[in-house]
Amino acid sequence: MADIQTAKGVRDIPPVEKALKNKVVNVLTSVFELYGFRPLETPILERYETLSAKFAAGEVSDALKETFRLTDQGERALGLRFDLTVPLARYVAMNPTLKMPFKRYELGQVFRDGPVRLGRYREFWQCDVDTIGSTSMLADAEVLAVVSRVFSKLGLDVVVKVSNRRVLNGILVEAGVTDCERAIIAIDKLDKIGVSGVSKELSERGFSAKQIEGIFKFVKEGVSLKELQKGVKNAEAVEGLKELEELFLYLNSMGVTNVLFDVSLARGLAYYTGTVYEAVLRNGVFRGSLAGGGRWDNMIGNFMGSKLQVPAVGVAFGLEPIMDVLKMEQKVLGESVVQVYVLPIGVVQEGLMIVEQLRAKGIPAEVCLGKKGVSKNLDYASALGVPYVVMVGEDELKQKKVKLRDMKTGTEQLLTVNEVVKKLK
Amino acid sequence: MADIQTAKGVRDIPPVEKALKNKVVNVLTSVFELYGFRPLETPILERYETLSAKFAAGEVSDALKETFRLTDQGERALGLRFDLTVPLARYVAMNPTLKMPFKRYELGQVFRDGPVRLGRYREFWQCDVDTIGSTSMLADAEVLAVVSRVFSKLGLDVVVKVSNRRVLNGILVEAGVTDCERAIIAIDKLDKIGVSGVSKELSERGFSAKQIEGIFKFVKEGVSLKELQKGVKNAEAVEGLKELEELFLYLNSMGVTNVLFDVSLARGLAYYTGTVYEAVLRNGVFRGSLAGGGRWDNMIGNFMGSKLQVPAVGVAFGLEPIMDVLKMEQKVLGESVVQVYVLPIGVVQEGLMIVEQLRAKGIPAEVCLGKKGVSKNLDYASALGVPYVVMVGEDELKQKKVKLRDMKTGTEQLLTVNEVVKKLK
């Protein structure tokens, strides 16, 4: 086989990186469960009909265009899931007796046959937390508390920008804008290109000077809920502001202090219906979103083709950007899973007994499996980043001790196995 | 959408079952890491060329026939991986500077477009542990120690049957058998159909009475290594027996006592080259294999098209059968992730503070998100199997206490939040 490679747009996660990923996943899932979210696993293979149903009413989305399609031996049309939301909607629709609220989380691979560029893969992980079946702002507050606690446990100083789609929609309507989606695409860039940039783009998109003035009357950096409540008249916006007020009341009770109102936050996706939010580093080199979500009350009902609304609110964490930031901020170094490498010198069986003693105490330990010399073995342990090496030969055995080498400093100590356990624990 | 269902042959894992699966996975991975195996993640999408390369030399395997095939937008031929071994071989081949021995584990979905029947799905998990690059029986012993410790941590009384492919091959050659694979298919059924059944099948398969007699001279229940070492002359078998002797020496040093020699153990797969093993319940209703593996020294070299041998030894755990057995033996019940459900009665904000206090102490807690009455809320908590409910209203707040209800017994106690924490920890 001349040409050994991965498929285009996918990659292997080597051990050091996968160990870090596992750590992040453990933090995430432990917080999710702390807040009463339960794990769900949906399959990667879905009927193509299911994947395409979401969009039956609206335009064909990018995600659907990028769906990997395949058939099974019965010529059934299948696809690889492109997100975890459609499978969730299908699961809820298939299980009408599900107790509500249904609070679930899911982590797993999703697939998009799109253009490949740096940091964008055709197979990547999503990590979703959602509460289905509650219209209460308590559910929104809880999801935001999860976001806040996840990042605090990861040691990242994050601010969560929050708004409500109805506030921006109402302001736009009040400003005489009819095609809100088109305006929002420009407003979404306020962070990056400022008022003048957005004004220019709105003007290019055909909005009048009066409309643009109407928009920037309220859409400005640092505008508070209170100011808007005094100024904005539109009924939809007033409703949205009321929800935000209730949300902040609950967040306050929960001790969540890093959520800030940001009127310009729009989030691209058309399906959000109320609260929207996005977590970003407070002072970071990385400006992108680490987590984002909101309320999406219409999608499950639409999916089921029913007039019934099935309310939902949730958040998706970006595993890849979170890992990139942790690596940049060196919050989590690529640590070795293995704490000690045991190297028996001529006393294999005694070496095995010692390594088993260490493992029995819960210390991840590796033992020499080859016949190479001491220096080659030290090279191996060093290359894998194992912090300690235990060496044991006839001399040490006579003294009922082992030699413990600190791989960072190179110092060696003669210790009993119990002393080694104490040092490594 | 009239017809909402999963694709044929796949399924959702609902929260109670997924929580159990996560527990099993945590036990497995913690033992793997204790023994110095490192996590690896390979993609689900592979080039079809890679998936089919393994079999270039031999016959087309069932796994390859059952491969889900698809193409990307560049019309590249892809497939969904059907096991974790081919991706491992590709990873090793693509990373020539990998430090050896390379000890890795991987868990994840694999796909086979085969017939669907009870317990057999088209998308299922595999869980593999392998050491690449060591020919030492130490590596084999270590994998067996992992198997032994995993099941002891899961509370399952398992016996691991072990043999060496060269022993059986040698015995067959000594009995005048030339087509060993054909004979092994019959011998593999000794457990199920006994000596008479296997004799009959061998005879039907065209083996002579003399050959069959030669086989059963050594292939019999309970035959020991020592007996075979006295009787068997074939050089290949002698070599296999020597390896087994060394293996048991190491297992003894490691304190592994549930590994037993079983000469009839063959394992179907053609690629095993030395040690083979299989874990089964000692006295169980379930007779199938819970884990199995062996030494496969030729595959990676063949895959790379090189004359160089890349030795490998490993084991695959069957997540689904393990979970079935745990459920049957009621070793792990479907426990609720959530330990307590907090129900504020008219005091939402104080309720939020209390639930956050519990979470801060590490107690997974859910809070009422709706406006339903007390009995509906108790029904909800009960349906989800949450063991305790905290109720709090004006009266309790005045006394700086909450009411803790034990959902099993129905008894209620008036306690401070700290007392609740102590009770639930």
To the nearest whole Å, the CA of A3 is away from the closest chain B CA by 9
* Mutation choice for B interface testing from A6, A23, A95, A110 by most B CBs within 10 A: A6
pLDDT at residue B58, as a whole number: 47
pLDDT tens digit sequence for A184-203: 888 988 888 889 999 999 99
Residue numbers in B near A49 (CB within 8 A): 1, 3
For residue A324, the distance in angstroms to the closest alpha carbon of chain B comes to 17
Contacts of B8 in chain A (CB under 8 A): 72, 74, 76
Q: What are phi and psi of A72, to 5 degrees?
A: -95, -175
pLDDT value for B60: 53
Identify the CA nearest to B110 among candidates B56, B14, B55, B42. Answer: B42
pLDDT above 70: percentage of residues in chain A: 96
Give the mutation candidate from A28, A29, A41, A105 for the B interface (greatest B CB count, under 10 A): A41
Q: Is the pLDDT of residue A33 over 70?
A: yes
Mark yes or no for CB contact A47/B19 under 8 Å. Answer: no
The dihedral sign for the CA sequence B98, B102, B106, B112: positive
Burial level of B370, CB count in 10 A (0-12/13-18/19+)? middle
H-helix or E-strand containing B280?
strand B275-281
Residue pair A394/A346 in contact (Cβ under 8 Å)? The answer is: yes
**pLDDT tens figures, A229-268:** 999 999 999 999 999 999 999 999 999 999 999 999 987 6
pLDDT over 90 at A59, yes or no: no
> Is there a contact between B68 and A70 if contact means CB atoms under 8 Å apart?
yes
Rounded to a whole number of angstroms, the distance between the first and last alpha carbons of chain A is 46
Please report the DSSP string for B192-241 in residue order.
Answer: HHHHHHHHHHHHHTT--HHHHHHHHHH--TT--HHHHHHH---HHHHHHH
B72–A122 CB contact, under 8 Å: yes
Alpha helices in A205-340 (DSSP H): 209-218, 225-231, 235-253, 299-304, 319-328
The pLDDT, as a whole number, for residue B53 is 81
**Block residue for tokens 């199920």:** B192
pLDDT of res. A278: 95
Supply the pLDDT for residue B332: 57
Q: What is the pLDDT of residues A315-371, one digit of tens each?
A: 999 998 899 888 887 665 556 788 999 999 999 999 999 999 999 999 999 999 988
Distance from CA of B368 to the nearest CA of A (A): 9
* pLDDT in the model for residue A54: 61
CB contacts, 8 Å: B320 with chain A: none
Identify all chain B residues contacting A70, using CB atoms and an 8 Å cutoff: 68-70
CB-based burial of residue A339 (10 Å sphere; 0-12 exposed, 13-18 middle, 19+ buried)?
A: buried
Contacts of B39 in chain A (CB under 8 A): 15, 18-19, 22, 337
Q: Which residues of B touch A126 (CB under 8 A)?
A: none
Task: List alpha helices for A254-404, DSSP H.
Answer: 299-304, 319-328, 348-360, 374-383, 394-398
Distance CA A33, CA B419 (A): 22
Nearest Cα of chain B lies from the Cα of A304 at a distance, in angstroms, of 6
What totals of helices (H) and strands (E) does chain B contain, helices first?
17, 16
Q: For B356, which residue in chain A has the nearest alpha carbon?
A: A254
Cβ of A6 within 8 Å of Cβ of B47? The answer is yes
Does B45 contact A350 at a Cβ distance shorter than 8 Å?
A: no
Q: Between A and B, how many CB-CB pairs are < 8 A?
A: 274
Per the CB < 8 Å rule, is B72 touching A359? no
A81 vs chain B: nearest CA distance in angstroms? 11
Distance from CA of A64 to the nearest CA of B (A): 13
Contact B134 A370 (CB under 8 A): yes
Residues of A in contact with B152 (CB under 8 A): none
Closest-CA residue of chain B to A371 = B136
- B112 to chain A: nearest residue by CA? A72
Nearest chain B residue to A354 by CA distance is B254
> What are the structural domains of chain B?
15-328 (3.30.930.10), 340-424 (3.40.50.800)
Distance (Å) from the alpha carbon of A47 to chain B's nearest alpha carbon: 5
CA distance A177 to chain B (A): 34
pLDDT of residue A165 exceeding 60, the answer is yes
pLDDT at A118 over 80: no
> What is the reported pLDDT for A56?
44
Rg (CA), chain A: 27
Per the CB < 8 Å rule, is A101 touching B304? no
Would you write out chain B's pLDDT as a tens digit for each of its 425 residues?
Answer: 457 899 999 999 999 899 999 999 999 999 999 999 999 999 999 999 999 886 544 445 777 889 999 999 999 999 999 999 999 999 999 998 998 999 999 999 999 999 988 778 999 999 999 999 999 999 999 999 999 999 999 999 999 999 999 999 999 999 999 888 889 888 988 888 889 999 999 999 999 999 999 999 999 888 999 999 999 999 999 999 999 999 999 999 999 999 999 999 987 667 789 999 999 999 877 778 999 999 999 888 888 877 788 999 999 999 988 998 888 876 655 567 889 999 999 999 999 999 999 999 999 999 999 888 999 999 999 988 899 999 999 999 999 999 999 999 999 999 999 999 999 98
For B124, the closest chain A residue by CA position comes to A43
DSSP H/E element including A129: strand A123-132
Cβ contact, residue pair A352, B99, below 8 Å:
no
Whether A60 has a pLDDT exceeding 70, the answer reads: no
Q: How far apart are CA A55 and CA A34, in angstroms?
A: 34
CA A358 to the chain's CA centroid? 35
Q: What is the pLDDT of residue B59?
A: 45
The pLDDT of residue B286 is 78
B34/A131 touch (CB, cutoff 8 Å), yes or no = no
